[in-house]
């Protein structure tokens, strides 16, 4: 099994699709010569040329909207929105246009576009370069929303997203780009094994508590699960991977087994993605629950600059561990 970083895995999905299919191309700010602000598209200009690796002006509305227009005419563009924070600038096109064109046209038009974006704290950029805004987009009918946490998942899910006939908002986490992981070999035609959209992944099986985590918090939760194990608590860690559609069955079945749930994400807890998951679990697994569902996320504050404040605002493995221990009635300390 080849080993790739998360960054290489994203690039491999893009490049493999572009070798496979002339309709696939990428566009975004600084993605050509510079190779993207996160280095994801490095080397792609040399392989594919400026026609298919398109640097755009700093114009998120046009970047998103042009990708939508090309998709409406049968191309499969992947638009890179440099930071999730800038999705707010593209939001009109993503929310009012991409998500609704198929619907408003009564099914005449498909919009097979992917909006790749990334965010995440841990490097003190302050309040406008590291937000986690996935909850904004899971609220919009017509969009699919993916948030992958490992090299294997990010590659297989990006491949599926490119070939999905719906608009997909594809979240990556900044701090995950350097992590390494094995990915399955490609098939004889050089294609990537797709990971279906809408299927969760159980990272670790356990008996006492289910932790449902996304993005960086998957890794924090796995650390917390190791620590909990030392204290005699067996933890199952599940990553939904796609937030819309949501694999409710896997999440609910896990909680029916463990009878306790913790939901962990880096985004602000209040009104976050975890609130919806909590609702799904309490409704479908009410009689199985032995403890209130715990949520772990950022405190209700913009991301601050000073590193000590930033570390305080966003959740870490220790926060997940404490939540796990609360669900089993153990005092964390």
Q: Which residues form the interface with other proteins (CB under 8 A)?
A: 25, 51-52, 54, 56-57, 59, 61-75, 77, 92-93, 96-97, 101-110, 112, 141-142, 144, 164-166
203 is catalytic: no
Find where tokens 């601050």 sit: 304
Contact predicate 84/171, CB 8 Å: yes
316 is catalytic: no
Contact predicate 84/37, CB 8 Å: no
Query: In terms of CB distance, is 101 or 195 closer to other proteins?
Result: 101
Tokens of 111: 């919009």
> Nearest approach, Cβ of 92 to other proteins (angstroms)?
6
> Nearest approach, Cβ of 219 to other proteins (angstroms)?
31
* CB-based burial label for 40 (10 Å; 0-12, 13-18, 19+): buried
Q: Please state, in angstroms and rounded to a whole number, the distance separating the CA atoms of residues 144 and 150.
A: 19
Query: In terms of CB distance, is 94 or 252 closer to other proteins?
Result: 94
Query: In terms of CB distance, is 20 or 229 closer to other proteins?
Result: 20
Cβ atoms within 10 Å of 123's Cβ, excluding its own: 11
> Nearest approach, Cβ of 75 to other proteins (angstroms)?
5
> Nearest approach, Cβ of 266 to other proteins (angstroms)?
27
Query: In terms of CB distance, is 16 or 97 closer to other proteins?
Result: 97
User: Which residue among the candidates 129, 173, 203, 219 is catalytic per the annotation?
Assistant: 129
* CB-based burial label for 151 (10 Å; 0-12, 13-18, 19+): buried
User: DSSP state, 142?
Assistant: T
* CB-based burial label for 49 (10 Å; 0-12, 13-18, 19+): exposed
Residue 264: strand pairing partners = 213, 296
Three state DSSP letters for 75-116: CEEEEEECCHHHHHHHHHHHHHHHHHHHHHCCCCCCCCCEEE
Query: In terms of CB distance, is 75 or 179 closer to other proteins?
Result: 75
Cα–Cα nearest to 172, from 276, 38, 45: 38
> Nearest approach, Cβ of 56 to other proteins (angstroms)?
7
Query: In terms of CB distance, is 67 or 235 closer to other proteins?
Result: 67
**Which 3 state secondary structure label does DSSP give 251?**
helix
> Nearest approach, Cβ of 54 to other proteins (angstroms)?
8
User: Which residue among the candidates 29, 60, 84, 220 is catalytic per the annotation?
Assistant: 60
Cα–Cα nearest to 67, from 125, 23, 27: 27
List, by residue number, the catalytic residues: 60, 129
């Amino acid at each position: 099994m080849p080993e790739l970083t998360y960054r290489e895995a994203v690039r491999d999905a893009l490049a493999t699709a572009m070798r496979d299919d002339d309709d696939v191309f990428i566009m975004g700010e600084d993605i050509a010569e510079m190779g993207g602000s996160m280095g994801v598209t490095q080397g792609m200009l040399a392989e594919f040329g400026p026609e298919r690796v398109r640097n755009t002006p700093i114009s998120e509305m046009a970047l998103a909207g042009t990708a939508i227009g090309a998709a409406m005419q049968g191309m499969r563009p992947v638009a890179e929105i440099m930071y999730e924070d800038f999705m707010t600038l593209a939001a009109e096109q993503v929310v009012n246009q991409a998500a609704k064109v198929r619907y408003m046209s009564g099914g005449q038009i498909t919009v097979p576009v992917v909006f790749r974006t990334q965010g995440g704290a841990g490097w003190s950029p302050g309040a406008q370069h590291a937000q986690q805004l996935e909850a904004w987009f899971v609220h919009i009918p017509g969009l699919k929303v993916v948030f992958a946490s490992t090299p294997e998942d990010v590659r297989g899910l990006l491949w599926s997203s490119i070939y999905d006939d719906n608009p997909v908002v594809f979240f990556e986490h900044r701090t995950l780009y350097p992590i390494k992981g094995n990915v399955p070999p490609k098939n004889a035609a050089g294609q990537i094994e797709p990971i279906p959209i809408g299927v969760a992944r159980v990272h670790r099986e356990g008996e006492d508590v289910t932790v449902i985590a996304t993005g960086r918090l998957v890794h924090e939760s796995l650390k917390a699960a190791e620590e909990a194990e030392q204290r005699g608590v067996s933890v199952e860690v599940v990553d939904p991977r796609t937030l819309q559609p949501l694999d409710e069955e896997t999440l609910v079945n896990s909680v029916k087994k463990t009878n306790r749930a913790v939901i962990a994400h880096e985004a602000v807890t209040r009104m976050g993605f975890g609130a919806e998951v909590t609702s799904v679990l309490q409704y479908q697994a009410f009689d199985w629950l032995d403890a209130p569902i715990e949520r772990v996320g950022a405190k209700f504050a913009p991301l601050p600059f000073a590193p000590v404040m930033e570390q305080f605002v966003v959740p870490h493995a220790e926060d997940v561990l404490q939540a796990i221990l609360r669900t089993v009635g153990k005092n964390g300390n």
